[in-house]
Amino acid sequence: MKIPFTKYQGLGNDFILIDNRHSPEPLITPEIAVAMCDRHFGIGADGVIFALPGQAATDYTMRIFNSDGSEPEMCGNGIRCLAQFIARLEANNAIGRTYRIHTLAGTIIPRLEANEQVTVDMGPPQLLGSEIPTTLVKGSEKILAVPLEVEGKDWLVTCVSMGNPHCVTFVDDLPSIPLETIGPKFEHHPVFPQRTNVEFVEVVAPDYMKMRVWERGAGITLACGTGACAVVVAAVLTDKCDRRCTVELPGGCLQIHWSQTDNRVYMTGPAKAVFEGIYVWYLN
């Protein structure tokens, strides 16, 4: 099996992009995606993204398999990479070009900007326990600075869904967080029936925050677009930042705006092609 692909990265969050426009189902299985994402025995990536035909009055459909084979609802950095990939497939990278992308989190609309930047209308955040989902509170309640015990310590967490679940904790000393050990404990905590993405955040100024992330299904990554959106929403709700904020991740910065006018979250950041090739899968 020969699979043409293009490798993209958005602030170091890297993906294998596959042209899947001729079929409504992904060309490969989650097991093959795991092999492709392996950084020693494969191409190396945080996930595999498929550009499928549109549905429900959209231009395209996005599916993604994480590096562990699981399938998330959406990926913020990934959809910026998908927008650039589609522009390359269409040979049309005009500034201002928009796409309506069907995802498991609903319709998402990225817009091409200058200098390989993409702005994405991420839609309104979801804040109720039933929407995250989590059993930490009643389904009709919000999760704002609620204690959650992990590893014998109570952490004050704020939960937000950007079409996928996020658990945000504000800390004073970001580098001291043992993300590689505590991240999985949060992700698999029983109060999150669908697991969760985990963000630890240090507020530098009302318009600037630093963030580290443990992504559900991928582990430690250099960036998470939906996570950055969730962090700004969580910070606004707990009176820690402005509605326009720069979020610094290990891979670089994203510009996030939670609009008071329409309640939608807008994310702007880069997406760049790295290389292209053909992956040969030898069937046993």
Q: List residues with catalytic annotation.
A: 75, 224
Strands (E), 43-113: 47-53, 60-66, 101-103, 106-112
> Is residue 133 reached through a cis peptide bond, with omega within 30 degrees of 0 on the bond before it?
yes
17 Cβ contact list (under 8 Å, min separation 6): 5, 6, 7, 8, 49, 51, 81, 82, 85
How far is Cα 89 from Cα 170, in angstroms, rounded to an integer?
41
How far is Cα 49 from Cα 7, in angstroms, rounded to an integer?
10
Phi-psi region of 87 (alpha: psi -120 to 50; beta: other; left: phi over 0): alpha
Place of tokens 């498991």: 104
Residue 49 · residue 18 · CB < 8 Å: yes
Residue 45 · residue 279 · CB < 8 Å: no
Q: With the C-alpha atoms ordered 72, 76, 80, 83, is the resulting torsion angle positive or negative?
A: positive
Q: What's the token pair of residue 278?
A: 């053909």
